[in-house]
A and B are shown apart, each in its own frame.
Chain A
Amino acid sequence: MGELHTWAGVVLGVLLFAVFWTGSLSVFDKEIDRWMMPSTRLHWDDSMQRPSLDRDIRLLLEQRAANAPVWTIILPLERTPFLTLTYGSEESRKSSRDLFNPITLEPLAKPLTLGASGFIYPFHHNLTLRYKNIGAWLVGIAGMAMLCLLVSGVVIHRKLFSEFFTLRLHRAFGRSTLDVHNVAGVALLPFHLLITLSGLIVAFAIYYPDAPQHTYREQVQSGVSAERAFLGEALGRIRLRAAKQPGELAPLEPMVTKAEQYWGPGSVYLLRVNNPKDANGNVLLRRTSHSSVTKDIDNFRFASVSGEVIGRFQASATVNTWNFIAGLHYIQFRHDALRWLYFLGGLGGCVVIATGLFFWTQARRKKQQRHGHLGVSLLDTLSVAGVCGVILATLAFLLANRWLPMQEQLFGLGRARVEILSFYALWLVASAHAVWRVMQDPRLGYLHAWREQCTAIALLAVLAVLANWLTTGDHLLATLRSGNGPVAGTDLCLLAAAALALLAAHKLRRRVPQEETLEVAHV
């Protein structure tokens, strides 16, 4: 168990850190979106009058995508305070997306960014490596390794209870690092078990694609895909074919009223009109998951021409168990305090992973360097590049968002793509810096690398706050005064990150002479 804990952590620690870091940020993905998309910094609450579906929204759809085979209407919510209309084909439902002010129905300026929900969140679950789900598999392997690390950690730390109360920050670096690793690991163990296991379970279709094959054998023999039959029965995902005959779409408001008679007022947040101009078209209504932990997948389906109910899907108790687990991971429920706890728990995971990596290198440094082994130098480099590198890359993403000119095309690429390239480019530079520092001085280069990158984090975080002020006029005092929580919160978190990074850089600066003295004493 000890070896499993050590090597799973060493081999997959850096990947796990990136997943936990982006996962923690994804807790506030929609709030970071408000920071990155100034045109969407609006206010909405449930007491406000929704735009009329038939009078206002349908007109917008007819003007913009009269012949699209699918219309999706996402009504404004507190965390997404704008109206979203998407038009696309059955295969690609997000091919075109427009945002509108929910009160005036004026189109909002195109954000020209994927934002946190379009880049940081996908990075968290698939590393943006979508080809054959390679990224999702890597994240899955890291997730399973995390579960093994948590269980094996409990087994190898026999004095778990006493370790929980042992935190000696002023002792030697190795000792204090291990104490932080143990205390954070033990205190957050239930949260980390829950979040890791739920993260794997929500992506079951990727990790166990053949699961329905035996149970749905009869359907397979009659030519129906087992996966499709399972998704239809368990999750209500069905597709109805178009009749290829013209049809007139019935009013949408009565459909919403009908569904809300069962679900409660204001509970419908999404309408999907499949084949709006076809005689066999249908309208799917989904309800929000704001008032419960369980992710709600229930839906109503109406015939688009007659407006009659043609189907109502209600998840079974077993499927709702999965929905509950998924809801625990997706955090779509409305509870700010819990959201902050999730965020802090995720950052705690980052601390556990990073301190685990430090402890491994600290414990082996002298022995391996005496024998000329490269293991410690390699892990020093990976730790700096993996921990500071991904934080710097995130800051580069935010800075690029604020500093790049608001043009659809930049350097021959879409603006959103240039932001993503900035993320990877700075990560690459941070990695090269770590390699250079560690190679330059295998004994103490890692300390210089940590210190310099911590300083860079502090600098970029402050620059991001300034960039937001200069490009939008929304400085911190103004956003605090106006109650613009998402933007003020993001700025405050950036300033807190800068302060912590400066503190770390300061402590590392004091540590270099101490290490040099120790080295001389050993010689």
Chain B
Amino acid sequence: MHLRDVIQPAATATHVVGLCALAYFASAQLVGLSGLLAWWAGMSQGDAVMLALMLGFIYLLVLLLWGFSCERRRNAWLLLGGLSLLAWGTPLLLQGHP
């Protein structure tokens, strides 16, 4: 057995688990951001969060499908990571508004 026979499946497993976790993290941040934006757009707080929660599973599905259909693994990680960072940072930068 070559070292490659061990490393390659391990790298694939790490990529799959990591990408799922990153997609979930990104979707969770997008849920928070969507709720905030919907509230600012005039919805009540409860409605805004409920709408964002229902959208969250669509976000996650789209991100997972997109992430796993990327031809280059690096691109999937970079774009999902960037999106997570953006969705996480935006509410922190903007909060304090109504």
Contact = CB atoms under 8 A, between A and B. Distances in A.
A4 to B, nearest CB: 5
Given A200-B57, A214-B91, A217-B95, A318 B47 contact: yes
Interface string B35-55: 110010001111111111110
Contact of B47 (A1, A144, A210, A319): A319
List 8 A-B pairs, minimum CB-CB distance, nearest first.
A234-B46, A233-B46, A318-B47, A204-B53, A215-B35, A214-B91, A214-B36, A4-B68
A200 B52 CA distance: 14
A322 B44 CA distance: 15
A70 interface: no
A4 B64 CA distance: 10
A148 B46 contact: no
A330 interface: no
B31 interface: yes
B54 A212 contact: no
A321 B61 contact: no
Using C-beta atoms within 8 Å of the partner chain, give the interface range for chain A.
35 or more
B57 A212 contact: no
A359 interface: no
A218 B46 CA distance: 14
Q: Name the prevailing secondary structure of the A interface residues.
A: helix
A204 B56 contact: yes
Interface residues of B, number: 31
Contacts of B36: 214-215
Contacts of B64: 144, 148
A318 B50 contact: yes
Given A215-B35, A318-B43, A325-B54, 16 more contacts: A1-B68, A3-B68, A141-B20, A148-B64, A148-B65, A148-B68, A208-B28, A212-B45, A212-B49, A215-B36, A215-B52, A230-B49, A316-B46, A316-B47, A317-B47, A319-B50
Interface of A: 1, 3-4, 7, 141, 144, 147-148, 151-152, 197, 200-201, 204, 207-208, 210-217, 229-230, 233-234, 316-319, 321-322, 325
Given A4-B69, A147-B61, A230-B49, A211 B54 contact: no
A197 B60 CA distance: 11
Contact of B35 (A214, A229, A233): A214
A368 to B, nearest CB: 15
19 contacts: A1-B65, A7-B16, A144-B57, A144-B64, A148-B64, A151-B61, A208-B31, A211-B35, A212-B35, A214-B32, A214-B36, A215-B45, A215-B48, A216-B49, A233-B44, A317-B47, A318-B43, A322-B50, A322-B54
Interface centre among A212, A214, A217 (most CB of B within 10 A): A214
Contacts of B44: 233, 316
B64 to A, nearest CB: 6
B50 A208 contact: no
B8 to A, nearest CB: 14
Contacts of B20: 141
B33 interface: yes
Contacts of B43: 318
B57 A210 contact: no
A144 B95 contact: no
A208 B35 CA distance: 12
Contacts of B91: 214
